[in-house]
Amino acid sequence: MAKIIFSRRGGLSYDGFKSYLVHLKENHHTEIHRPVIDIDAVDAQDHSRVAALQIADCGVSAIAAAIEPDPYGNVEHSYLHEIAGNIYNRGGNYLSYGLKSLPILDEAGLTQAQAAGFQRFR
């Protein structure tokens, strides 16, 4: 079973996420292995108390650096490319498996510099 742990923060509805998981389990058109979803195990912990959350934050920060411009308008792709070997992919397809963006990157209105960082992940 997979245990999903969020870093506790405001603005995220954990009940809403649990409802989404129920939807995934009940929707037979999704390609997921249903037995691994343990909805009751969804939890939120303080970031400072769980090392795994701090490690996950490093990965998210690398992705954010490739998307969010610094005060000068620059984005930094090297962090994202450095962790690429640790991002789940299936046959080189990262964006359908290991990386999820909402909206999808093609509809996100990325600048050319932002989109360039994700070319190797398509």
Percentage of the chain beyond pLDDT 90 is 12
What is the distance between the alpha carbons of residues 25 and 36, in angstroms, rounded to a whole number?
10
What is the distance between the alpha carbons of residues 71 and 64, in angstroms, rounded to a whole number?
14
pLDDT at 92: 84
pLDDT tens for each residue of 39-49: 888 888 988 88
Q: Above 80 in pLDDT, residue 30?
A: no
Q: What does the chain come to in residues?
A: 122
For the chain, domain boundaries: 1-47, 50-122
Q: Above 90 in pLDDT, residue 72?
A: yes
How large is the average pLDDT for residues 32-36?
Answer: 78
117: burial class by Cβ within 10 Å (0-12, 13-18, 19+)?
Answer: buried
Exposure letters 24-49 (e unless 16+ CB within 10 A, then b): eeeeeeeeeeeeebeeeebeeeeeee
- Does the pTM surpass 0.85? The reply is no
CA 35 to chain centre: 21
H-assigned helices in 3-109 = 14-26, 51-67, 78-82
- Collapsing DSSP to helix, strand or coil, 15 comes out as helix
pLDDT tens for each residue of 45-70: 988 889 999 988 888 898 889 889 99
Q: Where is pLDDT greater, at 121 or 6? A: 6
